[in-house]
Amino acid sequence: MALFGRKKLTIGLDVGSGLVKAVVIDHSGPVPELAKVVITPLNDTAIVEGEVMDHGIVADAIRQTIAATGAKTKNIVAAVGGRDVIVKKIQMERVKEQQARELMRWEAEQHVPFDMDSVELDFQVLDPDGDGLDMSVLLVAAKRDLVEAKQSLLTEAGASPAVIDVDAFALHNAFEANYPEALTGTIALLNIGNEATNLNILDEGVPILTRDLGVGTRRFREDLQRENGMSAEDAEDLLRGYDRHPMLDGVVSMRGEEIAIGMERAATFLSTSQRNFGTIRAVYACGGGARVPGLLPWLSDRLRIPVQPANALAKLAVREGAFEFLSTDEVAPLLMLPVGLALRAVA
C-alpha cells in the first residue's frame, strides 16, 4: 500500500451494464500517470437497459473493484448519462456570470424537455472574453433522481463520490488528452457499450450534442445466438475475435445500420438547429463494440467518413504493473470513460 501513500490519486469509476471498471490516476507528478486498472464483470441481469435490477450484486461489484485498486483515496469520480441527461450548446444575451446563473433556469426551460423542479442544472460560458451581444453557453441538465440514484448506489457500496460528472464530458476529457490534434472541425465520439451507444458530437473541441442510441454489444450477441444457435460464450468469442467471421456479416450490417442512422439523424438535427454547423469529418469509436471485427470499416463505408478506434492510452503515461493480469490491447477500448473520469483531479 505504500505505493499509493500520500499521492494525489483519483479513481474514475464506470459502472456499466456488463462491467464495473475502475481506473486510478496519480496526479502528483509532472503528468498524470495511470497507476491501476481493475475490471469486474457483472451478470447480464444485474443492470438492464440502464436500470439497476439487483442493487446488492452491483454494490458488491463496486466495493470489490475499488478494494482491488489498493488505492487509499476518497477522490472517486463517477458519472451519469443517458436520455435523462441533456447537453446542449445555446446562445443567450451576453451578461456577467452571476446574472447568467440567475437567467439560466429560464433559458433551460426553453431548451430542456424536463420539469425544471426535477433537474440539476449547470453551465459553462464558452466565449467569456467575447465582445458580441450574444455569448455561447454549454448547458447541462440532469434529472435529479438519476443523480440521486447513482449517489445512493455508490454510498451503498461504501464509495461516496467526490464528484458526479457527465459521461459525455468524461469521454471528451480522455479524448482531448490522447488526441489533442484531432479536436478541429466537427467530429463524433462513439462509445459502443453493452446496452447502448453514446454519441458525442464535438465542434472545435466543444461538445454540442450528446445522444444515446439503443444498440450495444448485447444486441450483437443476442443476434448471433438467435440466428446461429450458438451459446452466449461462443457469440462473445466471435465479437472479441481478431478476425471477421462470416457469421458476423449480417449482424454487423444490421446493427451498424442502426448506429449509422442514429448518427445521421443527430447530424440532421444539428444542421437545422445550430448556425454554421458543418459536416462531421471523422468518427472515433471506443467501448466494447469498437472491438467487433469489421464494424468500424463497415461504418466508415456506410457513412463515407473515416471511422477509427480511439485508444484511451494513446498518450497517457502508464505505470509498470498497472494492468497486472489484464491484456492491455483487449481492455484499452473499454477505458475511455473511466480514464476521462480519473483525469479529473479532485481538489
CA–CA distance, 64 with 310 (Å, rounded to integer): 28
Strands 119-125, 134-143: parallel, antiparallel or unpaired by DSSP?
A: antiparallel
Residues of each domain in the chain carrying CATH 3.30.1490: 85-137
Q: Tell me the CATH class for 2-82+145-178+311-342.
A: alpha beta
Q: Tally the C-alpha atoms within 13 A of residue 308's C-alpha that lie toward its C-beta.
A: 10
Q: H or E element: which one contains 151?
A: helix 144-156
Number of Cβ within 10 Å of residue 160's Cβ equals 12
Q: What is the pLDDT of residues 215-227, one digit of tens each?
A: 999 999 999 999 9
CA–CA distance, 85 with 99 (Å, rounded to integer): 24
Residues of each domain in the chain carrying CATH 3.30.420.40: 2-82+145-178+311-342, 189-309
Q: What is the pLDDT of residues 45-103, one digit of tens each?
A: 888 777 888 889 999 999 999 999 999 888 899 999 888 888 888 888 888 888 888 88
Local confidence band at 7 (pLDDT 50, 70, 90 cut-offs):
low
When comparing pLDDT for 41 and 273, which is higher? 41
Contacts 24+ apart (CB under 8 A), 58-61: 58/15, 58/20, 58/153, 58/157, 59/153, 59/156, 59/157, 60/157, 61/20
Predicted model pTM? 0.88
Q: What is the pLDDT of residues 222-265, one digit of tens each?
A: 999 999 999 989 999 999 887 788 899 999 999 999 999 999 99
Beta partners for 114?
A: none
Q: Does domain 85-137 have CATH number 3.30.70?
A: no
Beta partners for 141?
A: 86, 121
Q: Does domain 189-309 have CATH number 3.40.50.2000?
A: no
Longest CA–CA separation in the chain, Å: 64
Average pLDDT, the chain: 89
